[in-house]
Amino acid sequence: MNASSPTAPSTVARLAAQAARLEAATSAAVGHLISALPSLGRHDAEAALVTAVPIPTRGAARYLEELAGHLAAHPDALTSGSSLCPPVLLRLAEVLYDAGHPVVRPGCAHCGKIRSDLRQLRPEGRLCGTFDARSRQATCARCRRENVRIAARRPEGRICHTCYHSDPEIFEECAECGQSRAPAVRREDGRALCGRCWKRPMHTCVSCGKTAAAALVDDDGALCHPCYNRHRRPRRLCGRCGQLKRIACNARDGQPDLCDGCYRGPEVTCSICSRVRPCTSRDAQASRSAATATGALVQESHALGAVGPSRSTPGGPSARSA
């Protein structure tokens, strides 16, 4: 006859302990949630938690305990917009916002893009995938430049974007010119187009009515770059002048957010006067030489450096959605 070990808890006792832990975590989270949002009823709070943390999810009690602990330590977590928070709060803020409650959804600490899947946590807050990739810097194993963004791994080590785009391993035959080059975008049939053959799609701007390259394409339509800068570019406190303005350069590498008045572009040789000055715009011919000189990928139609969440690169979200 098999006798169960006296030290091993029975299945019934284990399940009962799990249920008690889940109930206690839910109760604590609901209490802190109602305290943070007095207009939120208990029933609505419980429903929001169930949506943000489905009960069948493995480890639901742990997520709720993490949420309750964060709300206890930061009572304004749902209204401050800070992304220094656990992932469950991102999902909860999204649920409450969609239900019409007065919450501020946290965004990427660098570009401000609001997402519920900001997975990477940094000292300044959570980052979206784009800026997480930009924050990963090291010494390139090929060109040996230091503190450059890493694009890929190769047998000799990690390589930068400049070396990646000149790497024969990624070259394909362009469907237009037939040359073997790095693909910029792909056509609907899957064949690649190189950067010389790809033309940025033109859209009619829903704001000004002009036909131009789009800075943003969403459900409302397309916005050209001037209209995006005027109406949709994020406004935050400038880290230099301290005023609430449109941000021209997002915070990174120890530099704060900078507004249009405080930001100065990288110094490059002007393609017109040949003087070395802060760059404010680039024509199609000069952009590639400037990119080589600065060791960065320069988008040909952008007037400033990395500006915001809707900046599109060849093959990026805006290009593909066109």
- pLDDT tens string, the chain, 322 residues long: the values are 455 555 455 778 887 888 888 889 889 999 999 998 988 888 988 888 888 887 555 678 888 999 999 999 999 999 988 999 998 999 999 999 888 888 999 988 888 888 888 888 888 889 887 777 667 778 899 999 888 888 888 899 989 888 988 898 889 999 999 999 889 888 888 899 998 898 888 999 999 999 998 888 888 889 898 898 888 877 778 888 888 888 888 776 667 888 888 888 777 777 778 887 776 655 434 444 433 333 333 333 333 333 333 333 333 333 333 3
Residues listed for the chain: 322
* pLDDT at residue 202, rounded to an integer: 92
- How far is the C-alpha of 148 from the C-alpha of 197, rounded, in Å? 28
Per DSSP, the three-state class of 301 is: coil
* pLDDT at residue 296, rounded to an integer: 37
Per DSSP, the three-state class of 231 is: helix
In the numeric block, which tokens belong to residue 320? 């593909």
Per DSSP, the three-state class of 97 is: helix
- How far is the C-alpha of 64 from the C-alpha of 143, rounded, in Å? 48
In the numeric block, which tokens belong to residue 293? 């000189």
* pLDDT at residue 252, rounded to an integer: 67
pTM for this entry: 0.45
Are the beta carbons of 202 and 189 closer than 8 angstroms? no
